[in-house]
Amino acid sequence: MEKLFLTPLYDEHTKLGANMIPFAGFKMPIVYTSMIEEHMAVRDHAGIFDVSHMGEIEITGKDALAFTDYLIANRLSDANDGDIKYSPLLYSDGGEVDDLLAYKIDSEHVLLVVNASNVDKDFDHILSVKESRPDLECKIVNISSEWGQVAFQGPKAEDVLQKIASGDLSQLKVFTFTKMDVAGVQTVISRTGYTGEDGFEILAKNTSITTVWSAILKAGSTEGVLPCGLGSRDTLRFEAFLWLYGNDIDKTTNPIEAGQGFAVKLDKDFVGAETCRKAKENGITRKLVGFEIEGKMIPRHGYIIYSDGKEIGQVTSGSFCPKTQKVCAVGYIKKELSKIGTKVTIKVRSKDVSATIVKKPFYKGTSGRSDRR
């Protein structure tokens, strides 16, 4: 049996009666009380997630920015200190190794926050890219084991966190970060989100993250704040049409067909650039789109999508959306059939289910609020 790692917050989860499951090599909470209750807490109030299983990889040295620009599809060299860029991380053929967040600490210091299931793979890939660029001087270190992290998301997140934060959170713009004490703990706080709601990610040393977790729950105890598991984290990101690595993006997809073109800077050199340029210049053959399903049957990853009896694509994710009270799905289909309003059929457990292509996201919350840009 595989030995599972425990996050620094494991004891807190068991105290709260969480249902724990194996995930990305860790024992993680899937749900505390009810997936829907936790989902709606984030939509209407705020919820806190343990994301200590995420990976942190540090790049330092005089060429840290130049190497990062070559490594990722987005551009970090034009960012200010304290800015964050979302980016695909690509193989040379344009397939996706991962999607990540790149933090510009300064001109010689970059922090990459990567998906939990990909930490070792990403680190090995980054080292191999560095071997191909001996001209760029930088050091790469996997510091994941040193840090704990919580995500605190929802329309009330700022007001609740402000009670225990040392600085003015209203000054923290979307996709930026700062150093700030929370409940007396030194932290790095960012404002990105993976739920469709406004909120924060709080990094602290793994010896201190429990203090942050407990203080947030106490500060939000009268505000409807709940601890939330991986189950609601997935339904929240799905409603907001945010990608899940291993489902919606993987080594067989490129960022242009996945709708990540905004994070791909084709005017610079980076790993996988040639394939991305060809996809942009010649046009893509398939596209990631969203569907609204008729009825209550939920299409799952790998289910086949049809038009006029012919296979046109596959579902990558599907779920009931608690906020909109609709069943939806995401999948890649032939680009010429991807127009909004197009009717398709999805084979769900041997039954043909009708679906319609709709605008994305399925639900737009408070994420990216205009007063924090």
Contact 201, 84 (CB under 8 A): no
Give me the pLDDT at residue 368, please. 79
Alpha-carbon gap, residue 341 to 357, rounded angstroms:
5
pLDDT of residue 115: 97
Mean pLDDT of 53-68: 98
Mean pLDDT on 42-53: 98
Confidence of residue 373 (pLDDT cuts 50, 70, 90): confident
pLDDT reading at 63 higher than 80: yes
Q: Mean per-residue pLDDT for 349-361?
A: 96
Distances (CA, A) of 226 to 88, 106, 171, 289, 300: 31, 35, 25, 32, 28
pLDDT of res. 1: 59
Helix (H) or strand (E) holding 178: strand 177-182
pLDDT tens-place string over residues 153-195: 999 999 999 999 999 999 999 999 999 999 999 999 999 999 9
Between the alpha carbon of residue 369 and those of residues 28, 46, 57, the distances in Å are 30, 15, 29
Q: What is the mean pLDDT of residues 295-322?
A: 97
Helices (H), 52-208: 64-71, 119-132, 157-162
pLDDT tens digits, residue range 91-146?
999 999 999 999 999 999 999 999 999 999 999 999 999 999 999 999 999 999 99
pLDDT at 14 over 80: yes
CA angle, 188 then 96 then 277, to 5° = 110
Domains of the chain: 285-358 (2.40.30.110)
Global confidence as pTM: 0.97
Mean pLDDT across 13-24 = 97
**More confident call, 372 vs 280:** 280
Strands 96-106 and 5-6: unpaired
352 strand-pairing partners: 347
Check residue 108 and give its pLDDT.
98
Q: Tell me which of 163 and 368 has the higher pLDDT.
A: 163
**The predicted structure's pLDDT at residue 335:** 96
Average pLDDT value for the chain? 97
Q: How far is residue 366's CA from residue 294's CA, in Å, rounded to a whole number? A: 27
Do 212 and 183 meet the contact criterion of CB atoms below 8 Å apart?
Answer: yes
> Is the pLDDT at 372 greater than 70, yes or no?
yes
pLDDT of residue 77: 97
Query: Average pLDDT, stretch 219-231?
Result: 98
Q: Are 295 and 327 in contact (CB under 8 A)?
A: yes
Cα separation, 264 vs 280, in Å, equals 10
Q: What is the dihedral of CA 118, 121, 126, 127, to 10 degrees?
A: 150
